[in-house]
Structures are given as C-alpha cells and as structure tokens.
C-alpha cells in the first residue's frame, strides 16, 4: 500500500494533517484511511474490524482515523479483503482523550451523522408531501384512488421512520450526556462492580451486600429492582443498553474472582501480606502499614464479611505499634490465666498458652500439629476450651464434637475458624476425622461435588484441638497419626486453687486484638526462629534421645514464640514431656471404665448409668449384666466397694482404648482406698478383684468440667 501524505483540502478541517515537507516536532498519533477508486464498498465492509482495532470515524477529517500502533493489524484486515486505500498521517487529539471522552465523542459523531440524515430525509419528505398535494388538486384524485392510497401509505411509513430516528437521536444524546458526567466507567455505575466468576456471573457490591447477576440475562426488571425505576438509566432504551454494556465491560476489566472458595473471617497470610477479617471490616497489613479494603476482594478472592465482629479494631491499630513488647505483655496476661489449671508438668502451661495464641494465625504456620488435651473427669478440659479459646476468639471457635468429616470440611474450610473436638473418645467418626485432619498439618484441599455438578473446594489449614479422657485406640495404633500430636495432660485441681474464671466478655475482643497485632508485628522473627529450630533438628535429636523430626516440627512455632515472649519458659526448646507416655493415672482409667458404652436389652447405657440403675433397683437381672463386664457392688469390712475383675473389664470395655493392651491392675491399685486382693461373687463363683471405694465413683458425674 502506498503512503499518501498530501493534506486534506476541506474547509471544515480544523486540525491540519502533518505535511510531508514540514518539520515534525512530534510523531503523529494517528493516520487517516481513504479508499482508492472503487474501494469504497470494501472499506465499508471492514468497518467492524476497524473499530475493533481502535479506529473511529473522524467527523473533522471525514474519514476513518486509526492509532499508529494498530497500523500492522489494520493492514492485515484490509489486505484480507483486497481493499486498496491510502494512509495519511494525522494529528488526532481523539487518541489523547480518556476512555469516557472517546466514548462520548463517538456517540456525538453518531448523533451528527443521524441528524444530517434526519434533516435530509425531512426535506425530502416535505417535498414529497408538497408534490402529492399539487397532484391531488391538479388531477382531482379521489381519496379512495389506489395510487393515492399507496403514496400516502408510503409517506406515513417515512414519517414513522423519521419519528423513530428522532427517538434514537434523543437516546444517543442522553447516553453521551451520561458518559460525559462521569470521570470513569466505575463512578457512573450505580453499584460497585467487583468482577466475574466461573459461572459468568457479574459480581457487584451494593450497600454491603454481594450480588451476582448472570451476564447473559441482564433484564430491565432485575436492574430496576437494584437501582429503582426512576434512575436516569431507564429514561430510554439507550440508557438501559448502555448500563448493561458498562456492567459487562467493567466486570471484564476487573477480571476473574474466585467466589467458590472465598476468604472467611479470621487471619490470613497471603503473598507476604496479612488480611484480618472481623465483622464488616477487612484490614490489609504489609510493609506499608495498615489499610482497610474498600471492596471485599483480595488477590482475586472474594472476602466474605458475613460474620459477627470478634476483634476490637481500635485496640488492634494501637497494638500493632508495640511490636515484641506487645507480644510479651499479652503472653504474660494469658499465661497467668492458663497456669491455674493443674498440668501434669508445670511447663505445659507455657506451651498451652503459646498454642492458644498461635491458633488465631494457624494459616500462616508451615506445619500445624494436633493439640490434644487429656485428663480424668473434673480436670477442666471442657472448661479450658470454654473459658480460654471460646471466650477470647468468640465466633471463630467451632465446636465439632459430633460432626462428620464432610461436615467438618464444610464448616471450617476456607475460614480462620479454630476447630475443637471435645470428648473425642465418644466420637462416632474417629477414623474419618483423623484422616481429614492429616490435611490440616501442611495445608490441603478437600473437594466435593454438588447436585449441580459444581465442585466445592475446601481449603484446610487448621490447628485442631482435641479433648478426651483417653486417646482413642485408633490413634494410638497409627504411628503416622500419633506423631502429629502434642499431648497436654491435666490432673484434678489442687485444693486451694483459685476458682477458674473466664476473661471478661467485654475484654475478650481487646485481648484477641492484642494477640493478633502482636503476632503480626513479630511474625517475621517467629518464623525465622522456628525455621532455625527445625534446621537444628539433628543436634536436638542427639541431645534428647527419643524425640523425632516430627516432634521438632510440632513444637517449633510454640518454642519460637516462647523464646521471644518469655525466654525463661523456653528452656529446653523441646520439653522432656514431649516423649513421655501418659501418666499412670488410676483416676483417669476409672473414668474411662465408667464412660464405656454398652448395649443392654436393646438400649444403650454408659457403665456409670448401669451402676446407678443397679443401686436404685437391686436385682439379679441388673447384677448379671454388670457381672458380664466384670463389675459388681460388694461389701468389705462394713464398707461399700465397686469390685472390678480386670480380665473382663479389659476384654469387654477397654479393648478400643489406649488401655486395651495394658495391665490395668497397677493404675487401679493406686486409687485412694483401693483393696488390691479383694474378692466378689460373679457368675455364681468368687472371683479375685480390685475393690474401689464407692465414694470414688460417686464423686461427680462422667461429664468433664
């Protein structure tokens, strides 16, 4: 194609094209396309392709004006249809305008073209009407004359077309005015467009609500419902069309949004940035400080703010400034409360405190152990969960005591919730829950389909808390699962111990804010120290025979936190009790026996309930049931005892517990008041038994407190 650079010679041109022999200070931003002889029709056919390449019809130049950057693409478009044209450099201010200014100008160009057409056709119509009137008079035509009727019908159709053209011009003028009134395409829309999802739905944010609109079915009624029928967008059809177009364009510009696995309330660490979601507020914390998000989107993910606040934002902002000093202060405050429980080893209180704090930032940890709270009844396991975790973190703590594995994934997936499985030894889905919990350690994903064949993805990155009198046998028999556990063991409270009390509920959001802020401010140091501990694994294994690599991974974050918050409590880095077996606790064993579930005459009872029934209704039938399991009330030297035949109890009641393969005589004999070589009649014969004073089984019930 030849370059043609002669200037246009039209009086209406106000912006002269650059002449070939002129010295150019700036390279022209555009060029004009003019068809050579016989190519006019071919150029019209390529109109849509030219528009797609960024060209526009310049009313000033009376030709298509195109950006210089699209020249190669335009040559390809024209060459594919053998359209012969000349290119002419042109200084076009159109391409220096904003998107809205360009759009407004294009609309006004269209208005000018249609108005010229309307004027020309109006003149022609008046001429036709005048000619027809003279013809009627001259020929004295009857109104029923077929030729006259045909001409009048033709004129009526042309008048109707003119009226439609008038409406179209008015609509275009209104559209241009709408575009000119806005600074950009976002501001003129009556709601905030977030993007689009995998279902091609447009996601909008209006008055704190997330709304999805199917892009292929944007109807007027649905839009009126959202913005009201009095909106200027519905003044005419062009405004409605423009609204739909801008909605789709704005969604495309914002890009894809993952709303299948959104971010729920809690604390997140993503690509070096912290996200804290509480109530309807979302804060981002990075090297530039704290900033509240104006829209519920972060890194292409939807942020769900449909949850009650659990954190005091004012305290959070202030606490972020405290750094490591804030970490020490809040740790000590929490530790003073946690140490009131009677831990088997006093140092367990410090590690329990560390894990309580780490629970809220569990997603940021590269390895998450399972925290297992064990102990006999009345040692305060359930109370610990309620008074500490649930009080501090409120709605973020999720009790899953009877949940299935799938329901667990649905409940905590994609969230910062802290899962608690209390009385886990009674759980009906232990194998499935433990298999699911394996995904928690390094972070994993559970996927499930729905009836609509739309897969749900549940991101799991949690540090679970378990509580029970004893560890389930399934857990003890699986070395891979047992190695993931940190066992914190409780004893019954000592006499004179101050009463366990909750944190004040009004103070809880402030405590949560201090914990989160101090951890975020200190996280880089915590992470570095944790990885240093892990890197020294071989040295630690040499110094502490019995510990494993997994043991070090389990403790590295808690030990790192202790080193920064309270160094005196972090020595040694891995506590000796990390490799110890459970304490030889007869009370705990007795509670396990009493909590055992059996079926009697088609009904389900705990052993404790059977014993109570036997006391209320003494009789041979109840005694036989107890005999079968190796239990019977007996009298010895004038005192009432519970006689326990160890062989039967182990075989029928303890086979699925950690005591199933142990000799239980030792632990039971150490219960206060126990008679080791007692006897009781069972099954019609005297059997050697261990006798436990009835006072020991009447002291409270089987529910933990």
Kindly state whether residues 405 and 344 are assigned to the same domain. yes
State which H helix or E strand residue 356 sits in.
Answer: helix 348-358
Question: Is residue 282 a part of any domain in this protein?
Answer: no
Question: Is residue 304 a part of any domain in this protein?
Answer: no
Q: Give all strands of the β-sheet with 301-303 in edge-to-edge order.
A: 258-263, 301-303, 297-298
Kindly state whether residues 222 and 340 are assigned to the same domain. no
Kindly state whether residues 450 and 528 are assigned to the same domain. yes
Question: Is residue 283 a part of any domain in this protein?
Answer: no
CATH code of residue 2: 3.30.70
Of 579, 597, 632, which marks where a domain is finished? 579
How many domains in the chain?
A: 5
Note the pLDDT of residue 616: 81
74: Cβ contacts below 8 Å, ≥ 6 apart:
33, 50, 53, 55, 66
CA 169 from chain centre, in angstroms, equals: 48
| Burial 407-434, CB ≥16 within 10 A → b, else e | ebbeebbbbbbbbbbbbbbbbebbeebb
Kindly state whether residues 364 and 473 are assigned to the same domain. yes
Of 44, 75, 96, which marks where a domain is finished? 96
Note the pLDDT of residue 141: 81
Kindly state whether residues 544 and 558 are assigned to the same domain. yes
The pLDDT of residue 556 is above 90: yes
CATH code of residue 518: 3.40.50
CB 369, CB 486: distance < 8 Å: yes
Note the pLDDT of residue 700: 43
| Residue-wise pLDDT tens digits, 465-502 | 999 887 776 776 677 788 899 999 998 887 766 778 88
Question: Is residue 273 a part of any domain in this protein?
Answer: no
CB 665, CB 690: distance < 8 Å: yes
Kindly state whether residues 549 and 414 are assigned to the same domain. yes
| Residue-wise pLDDT tens digits, 292-308 | 988 888 888 888 876 78
Q: How confident is the model at residue 674 (pLDDT cuts 50, 70, 90)?
A: very high
| Residue-wise pLDDT tens digits, 49-91 | 888 888 888 877 888 999 888 888 899 889 888 999 999 998 8
Most confident region among 144-148, 164-168, 179-183, 438-442 by mean pLDDT = 438-442
Indicate if the alpha-carbon torsion angle 525, 528, 534, 540 is positive or negative: negative
340: Cβ contacts below 8 Å, ≥ 6 apart:
497, 498, 500
Kindly state whether residues 105 and 232 are assigned to the same domain. no
3-state helix vs strand vs coil in the chain, percent to 5: 50, 20, 30
Q: Give the DSSP letter string of 434-450.
A: HHHHHHHHH-EEEEE--
Round to whole Å and give the CA distance between 2 and 86. 6
Note the pLDDT of residue 465: 96
Question: Is residue 704 a part of any domain in this protein?
Answer: no
Kindly state whether residues 473 and 344 are assigned to the same domain. yes
The pLDDT of residue 5 is above 70: no
Question: Is residue 121 a part of any domain in this protein?
Answer: yes
Indicate if the alpha-carbon torsion angle 222, 228, 229, 231 is positive or negative: negative
Tell me the average pLDDT across 620-645: 88
Round to whole Å and give the CA distance between 572 and 574. 5
Note the pLDDT of residue 54: 83
Note the pLDDT of residue 464: 96
| Residue-wise pLDDT tens digits, 396-415 | 999 998 888 889 998 998 89
Round to whole Å and give the CA distance between 81 and 267. 59
Kindly state whether residues 364 and 228 are assigned to the same domain. no
Of 209, 235, 256, which marks where a domain is finished? 256
Residue from 236, 243, 244 nearest 168 by CA: 236
Question: Is residue 478 a part of any domain in this protein?
Answer: yes
The pLDDT of residue 325 is above 80: yes
Percentage of the chain surpassing pLDDT 90?
33
Kindly state whether residues 381 and 478 are assigned to the same domain. yes
Domain limits for position 158: 101-181
Percentage of the chain surpassing pLDDT 70?
88
Kindly state whether residues 681 and 572 are assigned to the same domain. no
Kindly state whether residues 355 and 504 are assigned to the same domain. yes
The pLDDT of residue 703 is above 50: no
The pLDDT of residue 194 is above 90: no
Question: Is residue 293 a part of any domain in this protein?
Answer: no
Query: What rounded mean pLDDT belongs to the chain?
Result: 83
């Amino acid at each position: 194609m030849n370059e043609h650079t002669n200037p246009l010679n039209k009086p209406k041109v106000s912006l002269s094209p650059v002449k070939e022999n002129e010295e150019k200070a700036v390279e022209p931003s555009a060029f004009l396309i003019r068809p050579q002889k016989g190519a006019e029709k071919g150029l019209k056919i390529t109109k849509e392709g030219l528009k797609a390449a960024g060209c526009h019809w310049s009313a000033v130049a009376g030709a298509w004006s195109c950006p210089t950057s699209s020249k190669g693409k335009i040559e390809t478009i024209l060459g594919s249809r053998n359209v012969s044209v000349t290119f002419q450099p042109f200084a076009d201010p159109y391409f220096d305008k904003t998107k809205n200014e360009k759009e407004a100008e294009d609309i006004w160009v269209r208005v000018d073209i249609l108005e010229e057409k309307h004027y020309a056709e109006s003149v022609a119509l008046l001429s036709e009407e005048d000619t027809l009137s003279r013809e009627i008079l001259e020929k004295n035509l009857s109104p029923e004359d077929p030729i006259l009727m045909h001409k009048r019908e033709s004129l009526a159709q042309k008048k109707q077309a003119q009226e439609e053209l008038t409406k179209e011009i008015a609509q275009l003028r209104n559209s241009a005015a709408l575009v000119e009134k806005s600074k950009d395409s976002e501001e003129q829309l009556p709601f905030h467009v977030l993007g689009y999802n995998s279902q091609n739905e447009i996601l909008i944010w209006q008055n704190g609500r997330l709304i999805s609109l199917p892009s292929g079915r944007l109807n007027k009624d649905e839009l009126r419902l959202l913005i009201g029928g009095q909106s200027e967008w519905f003044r005419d059809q062009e405004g409605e069309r423009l609204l739909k177009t801008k909605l789709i364009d704005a969604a495309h510009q914002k890009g894809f949004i993952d709303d299948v696995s959104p971010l729920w309330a809690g604390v997140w660490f993503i690509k070096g940035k912290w996200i804290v979601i509480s109530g309807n507020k979302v804060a981002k914390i990075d090297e530039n400080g704290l900033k509240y998000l104006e829209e519920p989107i972060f890194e292409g993910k939807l942020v769900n703010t449909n949850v009650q606040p659990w954190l005091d934002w004012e305290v959070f902002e202030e606490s972020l400034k405290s750094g490591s000093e804030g970490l020490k202060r809040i740790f000590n405050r929490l530790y003073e409360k946690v140490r009131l429980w009677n831990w088997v080893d006093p140092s367990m209180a410090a590690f329990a405190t560390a894990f309580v704090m780490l629970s809220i930032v569990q997603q940021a940890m590269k390895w998450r152990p399972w925290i297992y709270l064990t102990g006999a009844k009345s040692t305060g396991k359930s109370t610990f969960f309620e008074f500490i975790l649930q009080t501090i973190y409120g709605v973020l703590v999720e009790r899953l005591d009877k949940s299935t594995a799938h329901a667990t994934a649905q409940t905590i997936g994609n969230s910062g919730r802290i899962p608690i499985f209390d009385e886990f030894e009674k759980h009906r889905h232990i194998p499935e829950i433990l298999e699911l919990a394996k995904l928690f350690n390094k972070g994993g994903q559970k996927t499930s389909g729905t009836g609509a064949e739309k897969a749900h993805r549940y991101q799991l990155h949690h540090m679970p808390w378990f509580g029970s009198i004893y560890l389930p046998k399934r857990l003890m028999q699986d070395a891979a699962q047992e190695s993931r556990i940190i066992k914190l063991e409780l004893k019954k409270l000592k006499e004179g111990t101050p009463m366990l009390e909750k944190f004040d509920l009004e103070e809880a959001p402030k405590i949560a804010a201090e914990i989160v802020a101090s951890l975020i401010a200190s996280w880089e140091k915590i992470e570095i120290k944790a990885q240093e501990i892990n890197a020294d694994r071989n040295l630690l294994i040499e110094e502490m025979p019995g510990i494993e690599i997994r043991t070090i991974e389990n403790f590295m974050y808690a030990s790192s936190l202790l080193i920064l918050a309270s160094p005196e409590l972090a020595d040694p880095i891995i506590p000796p009790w990390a490799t110890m077996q459970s304490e030889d606790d007869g009370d705990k064993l007795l509670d396990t026996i009493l909590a055992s579930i059996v079926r009697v005459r088609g009904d389900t009872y705990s052993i404790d309930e059977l014993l109570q029934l036997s006391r209320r209704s003494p009789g041979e039938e109840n005694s036989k049931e107890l005999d079968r399991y190796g239990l019977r009330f007996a009298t010895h030297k004038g005192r009432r005892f519970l006689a326990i035949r160890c062989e039967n109890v182990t075989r029928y009641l303890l086979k699925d517990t950690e005591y199933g393969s142990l000799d239980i005589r030792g632990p039971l004999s150490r219960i206060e008041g126990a008679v080791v070589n007692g006897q009781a009649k069972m099954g019609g014969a005297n059997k050697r038994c261990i006798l436990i004073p009835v006072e020991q089984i009447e002291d409270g019930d089987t529910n933990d407190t």
